[in-house]
């Protein structure tokens, strides 16, 4: 007779650093997700490099729940925030309205993988544990902590859909947005993918790739091939993009060294240079079990269509080669549709303590969800580059 799932204890523990939990205990829960962004290595690199800390406005408050044998049965990556930067789910207008009305929006609690607009598990329960029981314990602990710390709200950003719906059933406010993802429809080559597109899009993509690659050498690096020289070059690209787009990049140089030391097998770094010269541009991807995640890009020399080549077309080629079902190319960018990345729903869930803020936000989110659904449908119908969808 097969034993059923193991139960959990009612008490939830709070940890001010992920190192207090330990890699074995954390990854006993998180490894089964196949998601590098909630792995112990990734989250601990953020803390060890100083990118995530109280002084940067991301104070760790990770939660654990124990099983009946006093082993970690579930974990929740949680942070006390003093601002709304680095989240990619924008609540600045909520904060402004609340503070104009005399409220105090910060601090708030944020459940996420910092600086990563990537869908994944947020209430992370060990595979042999009753999932609903583990989720309930973690969510209850987060809400209790929110009350005890005097935080205005709890925000769970980019959860997988089933956890999002589960949280909605338990009274959290549901928000929906969209990104642009590429899906592998059984392609064996990049030409197979092109064959699924309209003739005009095939022609345009071939021209963009030809122009982007002209006079350049493109290299893809992973594992032991990554060196500190490569990270030096990429950090310069990252800082250039960060400085132009949002003024204050979130990641520092030590983060990339630690990433190369501890997660090299999960890294796909694509760099471009003129033969014999220094690298001029690069795109950083992380590899999950079922997805290639495009995260950062930058350049120090402009070249036509190079952004599309390194970030979108190279990502598709490598996903096909690796047999990965999809590519997530980051937040925003309607221009991705023409490159084969179609609208895809992403989610967040929100608990707001004060009814004077919670009720208008709930009404707003109801209208916003309907608008997002309509926009996704329109964009797919009107702009999809695929022959069968036009």
Quick: pLDDT tens for 282-313. Answer: 999 999 999 999 999 999 998 999 999 999 99
Examine the pLDDT at 236 and tell me if it is beyond 60: yes
pLDDT of 84 over the 80 cut: yes
Same domain, residue pair 32 and 127: yes
Task: Judge contact between 117 and 346, C-beta under 8 A.
Answer: yes
Q: Residues 163, 16: one domain?
A: yes
Residue 319: which CATH number?
Answer: 3.40.630.30
* Within-domain flag for 135: yes
Single pTM value for the model: 0.96
Confidence at 85, pLDDT banded by 50, 70, 90: very high
Q: What does the pLDDT read at residue 390? A: 44
Query: At residue 103, does pLDDT exceed 70?
Result: yes
Mean pLDDT of 342-362: 98
The yes-or-no verdict on residue 205 having pLDDT over 80 is yes
Those residues with Cβ within 8 angstroms of residue 71's Cβ, 6 or more apart along the chain or in another chain: 25, 28
> In the predicted model, what is the mean pLDDT of the chain?
95
Check whether 102 has a pLDDT greater than 60: yes
Phi, psi (rounded to 5 degrees) for 108: -135, 165
Tell me the pLDDT band of 342, cut-offs 50, 70 and 90: very high
Q: Domain check: are 172 and 240 in the same one?
A: no
Q: What is the CB-side half-sphere exposure of residue 136 using CA atoms within 13 A?
A: 11
- Total tally of structural domains belonging to the chain: 2
Same domain, 132 and 193: no
User: Does 159 score more than 80 pLDDT?
Assistant: yes
Q: Decide if 107 is inside a domain.
A: yes
Q: Within this chain, do residues 143 and 199 fall inside the same structural domain, yes or no?
A: no
Is 1 a residue whose pLDDT tops 50? Answer: no
Q: Are 173 and 199 found together in one domain? A: no
% residues pLDDT > 70 (the chain): 97
**334 located within any domain:** no
**Do 141 and 93 fall within a single domain?**
yes
Q: What is the spatial distance between Cα 168 and Cα 176, in angstroms, rounded to a whole number?
A: 12
Residue 159 lies in a domain: yes
Query: Span 360-365, mean pLDDT?
Result: 98
Q: Are residues 194 and 313 in the same domain?
A: yes
19 and 58 share a domain?
A: yes
Q: What does the pLDDT average to over 199-214?
A: 98
Residue 367 has pLDDT above 70, yes or no: yes
User: Which pLDDT score, from 0 to 100, does residue 242 have?
Assistant: 66
Task: List the domain range (segments joined by +) for residue 175.
Answer: 8-180+344-379
Q: Is the dihedral of CA 48, 53, 58, 60 positive or negative?
A: positive
Of 3-7, 33-37, 86-90, 255-259, the range with the lowest mean pLDDT is 3-7
Residue 111, in any domain of the structure = yes
Question: What is the arithmetic mean of pLDDT over 12-22?
Answer: 98
The answer to the question of residue 237 being in a domain is: yes
- Average pLDDT of the segment spanning 113-136: 97
Nearest to 350 by CA among 110, 20, 17, 15: 110
DSSP secondary structure, 274-329, as one string: -TTS-EEEEEEEEE-SSEEEEEEEEESS--TTHHHIIIIIHHHHHHHHHT-SEEE-
- In this predicted structure, the answer to whether residue 166 has a pLDDT above a threshold of 50 is yes
333 within a domain of the structure (yes/no): no
Backbone angles phi, psi at 334, to 5 degrees: -60, -25
Express each pLDDT in 243-267 by its tens digit: 665 557 899 999 999 999 999 999 9
Asked whether residue 330 is assigned to any structural domain, the reply reads no
């Amino acid at each position: 007779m097969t034993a059923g799932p193991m139960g959990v204890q009612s008490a939830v523990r709070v940890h001010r650093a992920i190192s207090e939990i330990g890699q074995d205990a954390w990854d006993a829960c998180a490894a089964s997700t196949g998601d590098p962004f909630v792995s112990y290595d990734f989250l601990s690199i953020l803390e060890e490099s100083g990118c995530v800390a109280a002084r940067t406005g991301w104070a760790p408050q990770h939660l654990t729940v124990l099983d009946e044998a006093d082993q970690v049965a579930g974990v929740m990556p949680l942070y006390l925030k003093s601002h709304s930067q680095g989240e990619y789910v924008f609540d600045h207008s909520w904060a402004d309205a609340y503070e104009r009305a005399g409220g105090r929006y910060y601090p708030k609690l944020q459940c996420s993988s910092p600086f990563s607009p990537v869908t994944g598990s947020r209430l992370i329960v060990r595979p042999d544990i009753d999932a609903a029981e583990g989720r309930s314990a973690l969510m209850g602990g987060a809400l209790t902590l929110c009350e005890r710390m005097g935080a205005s709200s709890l925000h769970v950003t980019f959860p997988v859909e089933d956890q999002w719906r589960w949280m909605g059933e338990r009274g959290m406010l549901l928000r929906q947005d969209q990104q642009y993802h590429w899906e592998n429809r059984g392609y064996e080559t990049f030409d197979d993918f092109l064959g699924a597109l309209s003739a005009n899009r095939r022609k345009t993509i071939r021209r963009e790739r030809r122009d982007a690659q002209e006079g350049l050498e493109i290299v893809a690096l992973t594992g032991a091939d990554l060196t500190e020289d490569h990270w030096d070059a990429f950090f310069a690209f990252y800082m250039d993009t960060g400085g132009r787009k949002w003024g204050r990049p979130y990641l520092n140089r030590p983060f990339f060294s630690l990433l190369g030391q501890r997660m090299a097998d999960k890294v796909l770094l694509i760099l471009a240079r003129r033969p014999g010269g220094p690298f001029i541009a690069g795109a950083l991807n992380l590899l999950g079990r079922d997805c290639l995640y495009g995260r950062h890009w930058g350049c120090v020399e402009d070249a036509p269509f190079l952004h599309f080549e390194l970030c979108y077309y190279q990502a598709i080629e490598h996903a096909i080669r690796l047999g990965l079902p999809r590519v997530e190319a980051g937040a925003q960018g309607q221009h991705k549709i023409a490159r084969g990345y179609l609208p895809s729903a992403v989610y967040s869930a929100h608990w707001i303590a004060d009814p004077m803020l919670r009720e208008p936000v709930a009404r707003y989110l109801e209208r916003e969800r309907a608008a997002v659904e309509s926009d996704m449908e329109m964009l797919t119908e009107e702009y999809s580059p695929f022959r069968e969808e036009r």
